[in-house]
């Protein structure tokens, strides 16, 4: 097989089930082997996965998966295959207990311990669409879309 990868495509797999569930692997090599043996690029300690089960191939940006022995079970989107072209968001099954999701690009990861920045509810909104409240019993800003009750409130009547 002619495996040529002029511009290395980046793929990733995120394991959904099996012993590696939740793990994400970035794939940059043109040929990546999967199985139970330590010689493989991705080692899966699942008894239903053979020692050399399958390989992912990147041939000029086109990803495919092929099983390495006829008795191995490889499925792409729940269809048993010998060899198949795979694309973004395809679900691949290995053996009876391991599945992973293939992605063309690496999913965003948050570093451990970091919290996302809190969102400002007023961001990207024009202040013309909000009325300031004059009463301590009312919130600081009330959207006009929900201001019907506000217009009936005595504080609004005084402010007007």
Q: Do 74 and 67 form a contact (C-beta atoms < 8 A)?
A: yes
pTM here is 0.60
Print burial letters for 67-76: b (CB count within 10 Å at least 16), e (below 16): beeeebbbbb
Q: How many CB atoms lie within 10 A of CB 79?
A: 9
Per-position pLDDT tens, the chain of length 160: 444 434 456 889 999 999 999 999 999 899 999 999 999 999 999 999 999 999 999 988 899 999 999 999 999 999 999 999 999 999 999 999 999 999 987 444 444 444 555 555 555 555 555 555 555 455 555 555 455 555 565 655 555 5
Q: Do 42 and 23 form a contact (C-beta atoms < 8 A)?
A: no
Q: List, in sequence order, every beta strand (DSSP E) within 37-107.
A: 42-43, 54-59, 62-67, 74-76, 79-80, 83-85, 90-94, 98-103
Q: What is the pLDDT of residue 153?
A: 59
Residue 138's contacts (CB-CB under 8 Å, 6 or more residues apart) are: 150, 153, 155
């Amino acid at each position: 097989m002619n495996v040529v990868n002029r511009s290395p495509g980046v793929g990733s797999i995120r394991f959904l089930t099996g012993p590696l569930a939740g793990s994400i692997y970035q794939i940059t090599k043109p040929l990546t082997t999967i199985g139970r043996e330590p010689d493989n690029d991705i080692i899966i300690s699942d008894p239903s996965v053979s020692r050399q089960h399958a390989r992912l191939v990147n041939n000029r940006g086109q990803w495919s998966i092929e099983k390495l022995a006829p008795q191995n079970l490889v499925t792409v989107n729940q269809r048993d295959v010998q060899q198949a072209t795979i694309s973004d968001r395809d679900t691949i099954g290995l053996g009876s207990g391991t599945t992973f999701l293939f992605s063309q690009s690496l999913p965003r990861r948050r570093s451990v311990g970091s919290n996302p920045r809190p969102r400002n509810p007023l961001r990207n909104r024009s202040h013309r669409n909000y009325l300031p409240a004059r009463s301590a019993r009312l919130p600081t800003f009330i959207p006009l879309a929900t201001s019907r009750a506000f217009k009936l409130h005595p504080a609004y009547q005084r402010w007007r």
